Structure 1
């Protein structure tokens, strides 16, 4: 009996060790792929430019001359409940509220080619295929499914620049591959400007695709290599007027070595998937027929480049020199393990799944945006050479400045430095002299409000991320903040607020500009630019110009300084706000929460506002027309499925009520995150929703990026070890952890009692141990001293 027990305990220990070494087992790539999570399940590596994934429908921006609302559901090209797959494209957004990309769609098929994608209702009319959820699977760096209409098993993996496909056909099938250069996730009114394809030899094809989608001028090249020789092919360019119907008339259906056009497709045929078998005389006499032998799977490698076809070929040759699919698959898995092992946790199985799936999504973007030789296409559409940094793209900054980028300052300091330098290069290439607002693939989309690159850069500089020139950074931030033609910025500088009658979202813009100006103020102080610092310090107080003493809320104001009449504080649009209402945006003063409390009448008044926010009813008609908001992400009037309020649960710490932060954070962790297809209550937004969970599960959150502080909450793990780039570790231990014990009784830092409601970045980076003692009853003595509360601008000056 004793021997059996010892063996059992040894087995458990080995299993736990294996689990820690392979955290990818806890990742569910299907999380958020249903409804509004807008994630994709396909194959990619951390921060990889190639994100190879199935697209399950083809949605046009306009339908019957009107905006097609279905476009929004397909921002990532995939919806979990769809029953057909159109094909596998090589570029995707993770969790965004807007769509683009979907480049170079490939689907294997047999039989006569059908060059239109068909519809989900009648897939047999086109090249798409039905599939069963029973055959679909995904893990970090790998995706597989059986395409039922063609009886083909499709497997995908990836490197940073190359998508690797493996297709296993049934015996005897005449194997064919379709390449669709017209397909895209967001073909704005069907506008593919131009595409081109060229057969370099009997196994290599190159070309490019130029589009006018969300990115108004985007050009991407590819190099596609086959594991077998092409036996036959066709290059097809459809006449534009044929688009409204099915594919009947074509400009060209010829075996020519290259072709260009707006609606270009190509298909390639290979030897049948069977090796001939010679029957013996005995077999011939008995009539016995041995089973056919299936040949090796057909493999395809597709490299991409924003620079040139030669750049794509270089990427192909360097990253995928052989044809061993399993080796690429295991390498992708190990790349993910290397990233996920940076934080090891002890927790319930549910928490582990949520946590490592969140890490997986948080480390998908921004993406590397340069070739293996360091060349990249800049914002000016010229080819540049990165010097001393790796160039990145996909900056969804209105979302990610809040938690994703602060997470990367801890876990990815080198990438953070590279990303900041990518933003500075963007500013230098901009005709507007502006840092990125929402940018991807050499384009500025001008999406959302504020200039939050300033927050990301300030946060990195304050936290001493190496490799960032402070003078260059300050120059870029100053020019951005003073650019007169950006989004009512000039009148904001003159009046100290954006008037309601001067443009939409006036209150949101004023509040966000005020915070961003404070972030630049932080850097100006460090650079000892006193005159600039003084000017920015004044602008950091501009949030006060939006505060209406009568309502106790931020309220839109006219040119003549009168308040807007018929003010509806619950409206999410039309009242000077974007993607939030007055109750939420009245709390967006992350740099001066104590100053906000003073405006409202003190700690109790702000605490009452927070209590009201989390308990008051929000009528459905107030958010039903807002695509980002679902009822699953709502507590009272607090909307966790969208970003403007992500810092709000932690604001109780600033008014001496940390137990209320602890209560609401644990509720959000429990109710609004599940590692299931419908497990996100809003868009993941390039990892912001996921980063919120990671921080909150560990027990702290960056309420004010641009300071070195993280505000304490209520961890839902038992233990965690953050393995830092400098070789040190920061450990978190939670005593008496349970679903009922959500309240923090006391905190120890390196064995000594820590009364403050925050920790600093330096404490984490230097290594150490943070210990939480939990209970089912709140400790109302913590945080009563103002000196124990987190940073506020008013408290510092």
Structure 2
């Protein structure tokens, strides 16, 4: 992690600076991932214990693995569902030693590919497709080599981190074929397995003992206390350099669909590793190729590419795979969570992967139809952990933006029915009756969701409904204390009232007036972002509660360490100070991200943080739910987004490189400020664009300079009340 300097040194972050990502093989927004498994928090890969505050504490003193598992979280924290199902372990030891971990050497990771050498000398390579994984193991010379598949594993090696199958079945079908189903937290995960191991024996095993002559194991009821590991083993002699290929097709709808998924993605070619790898590599190239940048240092381009990659791992979109409703169509899981992804990641997916974006929204609508409400978080488990403490009614923002861009495949009349019904559920009933609800941030959420739903209702010509919803949307003001200009005292999820007080509500003009006007609002923001403040001390390993309380009492920007702060730098835009936005964003891009391990300022949270980096580097910020982008000085000389068959270009003149500060030199890189702007050759006087302008393509030219200018100070982004309209 770069050591912070200047303005960034005054920020305080409570969470570990480790990103919580993994280097395993993934496919863009695909169903399956695969990686080395150590049991560490939170992805199953790595060395750290569970930690949500301060510096991470080591669980192991080395990188190690007991095998390679499937389905990992990406960037999440205390998510309470850690997957890591179906462990495949190449061994040269007896089956009794299954579960032992060996050091990892010579790791290589690229989109769709992961490789490492175990300390046993087995070179292990993994690639994945959308619904399949293919492993390739190269053995040293060995009289009795083994590939062991453990279907009983799940979760992490931490307290309360293990997932135990409720029911299971595994069948050896002979000739290198097998199939199995494990029911994990109510979800039936099926796998169809092919193993190329000529001359090797194939057997079932239970409790680390071979099952002679058996072809099937069934477990009707499993508890933590009764679980004994079980699975399949393939064993025989290996010559030096001999490769064994393991192909796994996955489905949530049974063995037959798992087999069809394997056939579709692997084709007829055997071995299939190179075919699947090439297909996934091409998908990654096509997807990340939708964003191009020019200029910048090597380090900055590396961080940008990595951020773009991390932004496209989750959510998982698995067409025709819902285990909960029988009809075809998209099924999205690992929406972890809407609180993390609705501001930055979903707008990025909407731009560069619009079909997948529509699939995610269609899946959310179907979940609401089947389960009764839009989820805040949705994993591979029915009705699991809706994260209601985090927020309320966030799907409405994404749906409102989507309607403004008009994806043709969504039934908007039906979507509106669910949007309206969902507003009355959980905290929504109290909001409807009293106009305010605690935790107070839910008042902001619900007022905003009413505004977003009103936009869809009005567009569908239901004006009476739209007017009623718009009236309720004004309830955001009930969340604030006019005496302080901040939110009312309340409980707050992972933050304090200062962190939440600078959210971009739909009437920022009125919100600034409530605070006392532009100057007072800017002074509050300056205090929040630490202008003139001394550097702060960050929490260490196992910080004491008193240390954390002192940090929170600073009422300071958390340096992108958490979701409530993501949009706060752009609040300056609404008070006529885009130059301040430029300073804060430049400090964050420069001092909060790096190229080494720990180069992310907190949990990546499914890609929400990385998506922030992508947008900020391009000089744009999406205001979710308002069909709006805010403009800022970009980090690159030129950037381009390919949206459908159109291209939106952000180009600059006067751009100057600002290197990432990972070298530790005590200097503050110069901030650049927009001096003037044109859109398609016409002067642009405000620091904002409609999302429709961006999505239809065009050319935004920004003239940059080393000093703040008067550009966009008088033309503010739109607000419902339009108090600052020219």
Q: Tell me the TM-score normalized by structure 1.
A: 0.79
* Structure 1 counterpart of 2:502: 587
Q: Is residue 492 of structure 1 aligned with residue 431 of structure 2? A: yes
* Structure 1 counterpart of 2:422: 480
8 A Cα contact 1:340 1:359, kept in partner: yes
* Structure 2 counterpart of 1:711: 630
Secondary structure at the aligned position of 2:601 is classed as coil
8 A Cα contact 2:266 2:275, kept in partner: no
2:72 equivalent among 87, 92, 108: 92
**Structure 1 residues 197-245: Cα deviation after superposition (integer angstroms, max 9, x where no partner):** 1112221111111123xxxx2221111110124733443344xxxxxxx
Deviation at 1:417, TM superposition (A): 1.5
1:733 and 1:620, CA in 2 relative to 1: closer, same or farther beyond 3 A? closer
8 A Cα contact 2:499 2:565, kept in partner: yes
1:463 and 1:450, CA in 2 relative to 1: closer, same or farther beyond 3 A? same
* Structure 2 counterpart of 1:165: 135
2:713 equivalent among 780, 784, 792: 784
Deviation at 1:474, TM superposition (A): 0.7
1:36 and 1:451, CA in 2 relative to 1: closer, same or farther beyond 3 A? farther
RMSD: 3.0
**Structure 1 residues 699-741: Cα deviation after superposition (integer angstroms, max 9, x where no partner):** 1101x3122210011200111222221x222212121211235
**Structure 1 residues 506-558: Cα deviation after superposition (integer angstroms, max 9, x where no partner):** 112212222222211221221222222222212212221121223332113xx
8 A Cα contact 1:60 1:190, kept in partner: no
8 A Cα contact 1:36 1:683, kept in partner: yes
Secondary structure at the aligned position of 2:32 is classed as coil
Deviation at 1:172, TM superposition (A): 3.0
8 A Cα contact 2:503 2:571, kept in partner: no
Q: Is residue 539 of structure 1 aligned with residue 472 of structure 2? A: yes
Aligned counterparts of 2:130 and 2:40: Cα–Cα separation in 1:
26
Aligned counterparts of 1:442 and 1:299: Cα–Cα separation in 2:
30
Aligned counterparts of 2:41 and 2:241: Cα–Cα separation in 1:
37
1:782 and 1:158, CA in 2 relative to 1: closer, same or farther beyond 3 A? same
Q: Map 1:710-749 to 2 at 5 A.
A: 710-725=629-644, 727-738=645-656, 739=658, 740=670, 742-749=672-679
Q: Is residue 102 of structure 1 aligned with residue 84 of structure 2? A: yes
Secondary structure at the aligned position of 2:415 is classed as helix
Q: Is residue 257 of structure 1 aligned with residue 215 of structure 2? A: yes
**Structure 1 residues 283-338: Cα deviation after superposition (integer angstroms, max 9, x where no partner):** xxxxxxxxxxx354100011110110111111011111221422322222221111
* Structure 2 counterpart of 1:385: 328
8 A Cα contact 2:83 2:163, kept in partner: no
Q: Map 1:298-697 to 2 at 5 A.
A: 298-321=244-267, 322=269, 323-347=271-295, 348-370=297-319, 374-378=320-324, 382-386=325-329, 390-395=330-335, 396-430=337-371, 433-444=372-383, 445-447=385-387, 448-483=390-425, 486=426, 488-499=427-438, 506-556=439-489, 575-615=490-530, 636-697=556-617
8 A Cα contact 1:46 1:364, kept in partner: yes
**Structure 1 residues 727-774: Cα deviation after superposition (integer angstroms, max 9, x where no partner):** 222212121211235111111212222111111222222322111111
**Structure 1 residues 65-88: Cα deviation after superposition (integer angstroms, max 9, x where no partner):** xxx972769xxxx99974211221
Q: Tell me the TM-score normalized by structure 2.
A: 0.86
1:621 and 1:203, CA in 2 relative to 1: closer, same or farther beyond 3 A? closer
Secondary structure at the aligned position of 1:96 is classed as coil
Aligned counterparts of 1:60 and 1:459: Cα–Cα separation in 2:
32
1:525 and 1:218, CA in 2 relative to 1: closer, same or farther beyond 3 A? same
Aligned counterparts of 1:34 and 1:109: Cα–Cα separation in 2:
35
**Structure 1 residues 595-619: Cα deviation after superposition (integer angstroms, max 9, x where no partner):** 2101111111111111010115778
1:509 and 1:553, CA in 2 relative to 1: closer, same or farther beyond 3 A? same
1:771 equivalent among 671, 695, 701: 701
**Structure 1 residues 359-390: Cα deviation after superposition (integer angstroms, max 9, x where no partner):** 111111111223xxx35323xxx43322xxx3
Higher-Rg member (1/2): 1
8 A Cα contact 1:375 1:384, kept in partner: no
More displaced stretch, 167-176 vs 618-627: 618-627
1:625 and 1:343, CA in 2 relative to 1: closer, same or farther beyond 3 A? farther
8 A Cα contact 1:90 1:103, kept in partner: yes
Aligned counterparts of 1:539 and 1:230: Cα–Cα separation in 2:
71
Aligned counterparts of 1:318 and 1:629: Cα–Cα separation in 2:
55
8 A Cα contact 1:359 1:694, kept in partner: yes
More displaced stretch, 169-178 vs 223-232: 223-232
Q: Is residue 181 of structure 1 aligned with residue 151 of structure 2? A: yes
8 A Cα contact 2:566 2:612, kept in partner: yes
* Structure 1 counterpart of 2:124: 154
Aligned counterparts of 1:368 and 1:198: Cα–Cα separation in 2:
28
Deviation at 1:629, TM superposition (A): 13
Structure 1 alignment gaps of length 5 or more: 1-32, 62-67, 118-125, 239-246, 275-293, 500-505, 557-574
1:695 and 1:190, CA in 2 relative to 1: closer, same or farther beyond 3 A? closer
Aligned counterparts of 1:747 and 1:629: Cα–Cα separation in 2:
44
Q: Whose RCO is larger (CA < 8 A, sep 6+)?
A: 2
Aligned counterparts of 2:470 and 2:520: Cα–Cα separation in 1:
26
Secondary structure at the aligned position of 1:345 is classed as strand
8 A Cα contact 1:161 1:304, kept in partner: yes
8 A Cα contact 1:166 1:298, kept in partner: yes
Secondary structure at the aligned position of 2:442 is classed as helix
1:80 and 1:137, CA in 2 relative to 1: closer, same or farther beyond 3 A? farther
**Structure 1 residues 232-287: Cα deviation after superposition (integer angstroms, max 9, x where no partner):** 3443344xxxxxxxx7xx7x84441011334332342333222xxxxxxxxxxxxx
**Structure 1 residues 395-426: Cα deviation after superposition (integer angstroms, max 9, x where no partner):** 22111110111112211222222111111111
